[in-house]
Amino acid sequence: MLYDENLYQHTFKQHLPASNLLKIISGFASPSFTRRVLDEFKHVKIELYIGMTQQGLSQTTRQAFTTLYTDYPDRLKVYYQYKSDPTHIKLYEICYNNNSLCIFVGSANFTVNGFERYRELLTVIYDDTNRLFEKQRERSLEATDKRVSSVIPVIDEMEDENLEADDFIKDNQKKMHPGTWLNDQFREYHYIRHPFSTFSKGYVDVDNYIEIPLVLPSDNLSKGINAGLYGKEAYLSETGGFSFANFFGEDLNKLVKFQCDDGQLLTGIVEPRRSNRLKFLPSIYDYIAQRIGIVKNQLITIKKLDQYGRRTIKIFKIDEQEYGLDFSNEE
């Protein structure tokens, strides 16, 4: 059976409830995605071999996996390959008491991008994989091994392909769920006592805002908000009238917290390497697509925005850490 969509559903959602062990070989693996699977399937242990780590790991990735060991004792083993030819295999074996239930191989890394954002392929196989796991174990060190720091180079976060936007954002939050950073009393004050339309006009400096076009007439539709449809992460771009650095501050690696006019909560970060790009969690594409009522994986175009009644979003500064995001189509 071949799967090229809904990979998370066809693999983990369908098969992990009846298992208690997930064995993985993957070129790259996201700490936040690992946490998500552990959280959702609380009876399942994970044995994860990451095959491309010889090219280096950032301190963020190392620390994130170390934290997972602490948060999920006895449920997680992570191994970094440190010798022999780099391994780019993607193999997922779902087991019960070490007996194989089903095996998937294909192109999807153990990441959100691999399972949900990019178009990848997984297929079921019926071969014995013991040799592959044994070979991978011989080439690897467990993440907690003290030798890791001496045999695997430390690289910059922006060069670490194990990290996704989710890792940058969630790693700086106490919990791995969007919105948990928002103080309950703050939410109550603004959403119950003062709706967004009120505080955006009466409780913040309305001159202290930026207005960002979602799609420009000259845009290549494979970029910007639609980039996620082409194997990248969706983002918003600066236009000539403002700079993200000036608006959000010079510390481009900080989290930006948004309260939206419809009550939803988003978290964003300006890419340090591309300071003209603002990325979001959840994806800004998913958020806008839901607001304008289009089917997921359709292009967001000027025509569709006009049908909704708005081409831009407006971002207001509430304080140094929190912002309002307005995409209402009401006059």
Does 2-157 match 209-326 in CATH topology? Answer: no
Q: How far is 107 from 301, CA to CA, in rounded Å?
A: 30
Measured over all CA atoms, what is the biggest interatomic distance in the chain, rounded to whole angstroms? 66
Query: How much is the pLDDT for 167?
Result: 63
CA 310, 314, 315: angle at the middle one, nearest 5?
155
Query: How much is the pLDDT for 41?
Result: 96
pLDDT > 60? residue 288: yes
Domain boundaries, the chain: 2-157, 209-326
Kindly report, residue by residue over 36-79, the tens digit of the pLDDT.
999 999 999 999 999 999 989 988 899 999 999 999 999 999 99
Per the model's pLDDT, the better-predicted residue between 124 and 170 turns out to be 124
Any idea which of 31-40, 77-86, 213-222 has the lowest mean pLDDT?
213-222
Architecture of domain 2-157: 2-Layer Sandwich (3.30)
Per the model's pLDDT, the better-predicted residue between 241 and 188 turns out to be 241
**Tokens standing for residue 95:** 């087991």
Query: How much is the pLDDT for 21?
Result: 98
Query: How much is the pLDDT for 15?
Result: 97
Kindly report, residue by residue over 79-123, the tens digit of the pLDDT.
999 999 999 999 999 999 989 999 999 999 999 889 987 889 999
Strands lying side by side in the sheet with 91-96: 2-3, 122-125, 99-106, 91-96, 21-26, 45-50, 76-81, 140-142
Q: What is the mean pLDDT of the chain?
A: 83
Share of the chain above pLDDT 70, in %: 81
Arithmetic mean of pLDDT, 126-136: 97
Query: How much is the pLDDT for 88?
Result: 95
Query: How much is the pLDDT for 188?
Result: 35
> Does the structural domain 209-326 have CATH classification 1.10.3470?
no
